[in-house]
Amino acid sequence: EPEVTQTPSHQVTQMGQEVILRCVPISNHLYFYWYRQILGQKVEFLVSFYNNEISEKSEIFDDQFSVERPDGSNFTLKIRSTKLEDSAMYFCASSVGGVSNQPQHFGDGTRLSIL
């Protein structure tokens, strides 16, 4: 069964540095998402992406964050000037369609640790 893959599995970065988290969505999926899960807390939506542009974003997704689909397969999340509170698991997801009744397929996540 095709999977969403994320790299790296664990990223350790000094506060103030920039990080790029990478994702390869399922190949025939058209909608892509990033979520964040702070340890022990719920899954929080960050942003959705379709047709090379952001479809929706949450209040969390401020100017510090950006997303890009640089080629036909990768989908990246960039976090500029990282803060301690950015430490979390970051999950990429994709879905075939963008309507509400489509399940999302998640990667195994990148654990981001800001020191």
| Closest distance to other proteins from the beta carbon of 23 (Å) | 11
Residues from 43 through 62 that contact other proteins (CB under 8 A): 43-45, 48, 56
Give the residue, chosen from 27, 28, 52, 100, that forms a contact with other proteins under the rule CB under 8 A: 100
For the CA atoms of 68, 39, 58, 76, the dihedral, rounded to the nearest 10 degrees, stands at 0
Give the residue, chosen from 26, 34, 94, 105, that forms a contact with other proteins under the rule CB under 8 A: 105
Nearest residue to 111 via CA among 92, 89, 91:
89
Cβ proximity to other proteins: between 17 and 102 the closer is: 102
Q: Residue 108 in 3-state DSSP?
A: coil
Give the residue, chosen from 49, 79, 86, 109, that forms a contact with other proteins under the rule CB under 8 A: 109
Nearest residue to 34 via CA among 64, 1, 72:
64
